[in-house]
Amino acid sequence: MVGYIRWIDGLSKALAHSFGWCIVMLTLGTCYEVFMRYVLNEPTSWAYDMSYMFYGALFMMAGAYTLSKNAHVRGDFIYRKWSPTTQAKVELTLYVLFFFPGILALVLTGATYALESMRIQEVSVNSPAGVPVWPLKAIIFFAGVSLLLAGSAEVCRCLHCIKTGVWLDRDEDIKELEQILLETYGTDQEARK
């Protein structure tokens, strides 16, 4: 079970890091558009479409990675006071009741939208350039599948915690700047000593 969790976490990480390149493409495309629009007075016909497609792809494909890092927003003022076993039982129940039905709906609907969009070779109605929209609609399906896999790994994490009484450690491929600063320099009280 631990091997499966690590494999899914690795897949989520690889997908998110791959789609992270959308940020570079967004930055380059936006800089090019600003230059063309304000310096040369020749705005592009594709910059708007490029921006929402890259941002949409980035946002959708980062969901599984965020789930694998336990980084989704939650109101945990009660949750954090529970024992790990109680936390795992509650999370397992919530995954079964709410997460999986919603994600299955996302996968099925995403597949329907993507197939229909590919069939008619859908293009953006907002763009004079006629930019294809079907790749972005296909991302809905792939994001749903990646979230489904990440959710199955989280269920395995819950089962592991219920069995052992402790949460399985998560891989730390990135750290918050605050955490790095605290590790490097310590707290204010330590620095004053």
* 97 domain residue, yes or no: yes
Residue 24 has pLDDT above 70, yes or no: yes
**Long-range pairs for 70-75: beta carbons < 8 A, 24 or more residues apart:** 70/170
> Residues 173-178: contacts with CB within 8 Å, 24+ apart?
173/13
Confirm whether 24 is domain-assigned: yes
- pLDDT over 90 at 18, yes or no: yes
Nearest to 24 by CA among 71, 69, 75, 58: 58
Report yes or no on 15 lying in a domain: yes
Residue 193 counted as domain residue: no
Given this model, what pLDDT does residue 182 score? 86
What token pair was written down for 75? Answer: 């109101």
Residue 173 within any structural domain of the chain: no
Determine the structural domain holding residue 123 and report its residue range.
2-168
The overall pTM is greater than 0.95: no
The predicted model gives 174-185 an average pLDDT of 82
d(CA 165, CA 85): 5
Q: What tokens does 14 get?
A: 């690889």
pLDDT mean over 102-124: 94
Stronger pLDDT, 30 or 178, i.e. the higher one: 30
For 114-158, the pLDDT digits (tens) are 999 999 999 888 777 788 889 989 999 999 999 999 999 999 999
Please give the DSSP secondary-structure letter assigned to residue 132: B
In a domain, 191, yes or no: no
Assess if residue 59 is contained within a domain: yes
Mean local confidence (pLDDT), 65-94: 89
Number of domain units in the chain: 1
Tell whether 146 is covered by a domain: yes
Other C-beta atoms within 10 Å of 102: how many? Answer: 13
